[in-house]
Amino acid sequence: MVWKYPSLAKVATLTGHSMRVLYLAMSPDGQTIVTGVGDETLRFWNVFPSMKTPTPVKDTGLWSLGHTQIR
C-alpha cells in the first residue's frame, strides 16, 4: 500500500507481484514508483500522474506500466 504523509491517507494498493515487495523507489519527477521482488521482477506504477495525463480507467486509480525481468 502507498500512504500519503503526514495525513497517512491510503493513496493506492499495488497488486500484481506474486511475491512480497523488497524494494521501492520513486522517479525524480515524483509520478512513477518502481517495485522489485525476490523473483527479480520489476513493476512500474504511475501512482501520481500529472494533470496532463488522462484519468485512469481502472478503479484502483493506478496504471501498471508493465514488468521487467532483471536478468
Cell of 50: 500529472
What secondary structure letter does DSSP report for 56?
P
**Is 6 a residue whose pLDDT tops 60?**
yes
Judge whether 61 and 14 are in contact, CB under 8 Å.
Answer: no
Side chain identity at 69, as an amino acid letter?
Q
**How big, in percent rounded to 5, are the helix, strand and coil portions of the chain?**
0, 45, 55
**Is 70 a residue whose pLDDT tops 60?**
no
- In this predicted model, what pLDDT tens digit does every residue of 36-52 receive, in sequence order? 999 889 999 988 777 66
